[in-house]
Amino acid sequence: MADTPITAARTRPSGRVGQFIHRLRGGDEVAHLITLMCAASIIAVTVMLVYQLYINSSLPRHKFGFEFFLGRTWDPVSGDFGALPFIYGTLVSSALALLLAVPLGVGAAVFLSELAPPRISTATTFVIELLAAVPSVIYGLLGIFVLIPILRKPVMPFLKHTLGFLPLFKGPIYGVSMLAAGVVLAIMIVPFIISVSREVLLAVPVEQREAALGLGATKWESTWQIVVPFARVGIFASIFLALARALGETMAVTMVIGNDPKISASLFAPGYSIAAVIANEFTEATGDLYLQALIELGLVLFLLTILINGLARLVIIATTQKGAARG
């Protein structure tokens, strides 16, 4: 009599379905399944994204093939689409942004990790991370109404006067230009370079600094010849991450680059970027070929940023493993 409840508890429902239901009743399997489905849906969404971009750009891919990347005319009326001016604009504005942002970012990161007292360093990093949170449309707003007037009045005439013999600084001054896009992008990506580089620099062992200083190096020599080279891989990773952001940045660039699909050597001339042309022309794209040409541009942009991001990710994985092995 006494063991009846025990046997009752031990009785397992027979059959496959019965067992499944029994396990479900515990709840663990259900929870596992639900969270698994959410995790799997992340993969599903990403796969679907790539698939949609690919399938919806078949028309121009078949019509133009590789020529799409080399064509210099973008003429929706006659249905002739070449992406070169946009690819050029995207690459040049991003390169310009890196040129300005890397010295500024690495310099600031060195200051925050090597010189600033911890409290100031933390507070400053906090402010810089807020800078990364400012929406890009606000950078565009300030770009139009603050940066471009500054560039048009003192900066560009000055550059033309002093460096005008270079093809980079020739031609009429409009204000909206590749240079404006580069400057806005630079300001937008500096926070990413600083916050990653600072952490990498802080992770450099103190012994490295002490050894250099002990040999009679000045603070700057120890920083520049010992600490920064030690952290160089991580710094490169931060630069790659920043580059990926610059390539995909849409609003701020659209608002200041001038939106003119021409390839010009001068930084004063207006240009166009991949993201900007998508933003401007997508809603008014008439006809499947036009729309799909824009979607193919989106695919190009996607692959470009994925490539750069992947490189950065690899660098980070490689360095952290090295770091772990050393520690």
Residues 215-274 that bind another protein (CB under 8 A): 218-221, 223-224, 244, 247-251, 255
Instruction: Write out the binding residues for another protein, residues 268-307 only, by CB under 8 A.
Output: 275, 278-279, 282-283, 294-295, 298, 301-302, 305-306
Residue from 8, 9, 17, 45 that binds another protein (CB under 8 A)? Answer: 45
- Tell me the C-alpha distance between 216 and 97, whole Å: 37
CA torsion 304→309→312→318, rounded to 10°? -120
Instruction: For another protein, give the closer residue by CB, 115 or 166.
Output: 115
Cα three-residue angle 148-151-157, rounded to 5 degrees = 145
- Tell me the C-alpha distance between 184 and 137, whole Å: 11
Instruction: For another protein, give the closer residue by CB, 141 or 263.
Output: 141
Of 84, 87, 86, nearest to 71 by C-alpha is 84
Q: Does 46 bind another protein (CB under 8 A)?
A: yes
What is the closest distance, in whole angstroms, from the C-beta atom of residue 165 to another protein in the complex?
A: 28
Partners of 74 in the β-ladder: 81
Q: Does 19 bind another protein (CB under 8 A)?
A: no
DSSP state of 11: P
What is the closest distance, in whole angstroms, from the C-beta atom of residue 308 to another protein in the complex?
A: 8
Query: Among the candidate windows 34-42, 58-66, 155-163, 231-239, which touches another protein by CB under 8 A?
Result: 34-42
Instruction: For another protein, give the closer residue by CB, 108 or 156.
Output: 108
What is the closest distance, in whole angstroms, from the C-beta atom of residue 1 to another protein in the complex?
A: 26
Instruction: For another protein, give the closer residue by CB, 174 or 224.
Output: 224
Instruction: Write out the binding residues for another protein, residues 73-112 only, by CB under 8 A.
Output: 103-105, 107-108, 110-112
- Tell me the C-alpha distance between 316 and 308, whole Å: 12
Of 157, 172, 181, 185, nearest to 269 by C-alpha is 172
What is the closest distance, in whole angstroms, from the C-beta atom of residue 94 to another protein in the complex?
A: 12
Strand 74-75 versus strand 80-81 pairing type: antiparallel
Tell me if 221 sits within 8 A of 176, measured CB to CB. no
Instruction: Write out the binding residues for another protein, residues 56-75 only, by CB under 8 A.
Output: 56
Say how many residues touch another protein, by CB under 8 A. 84
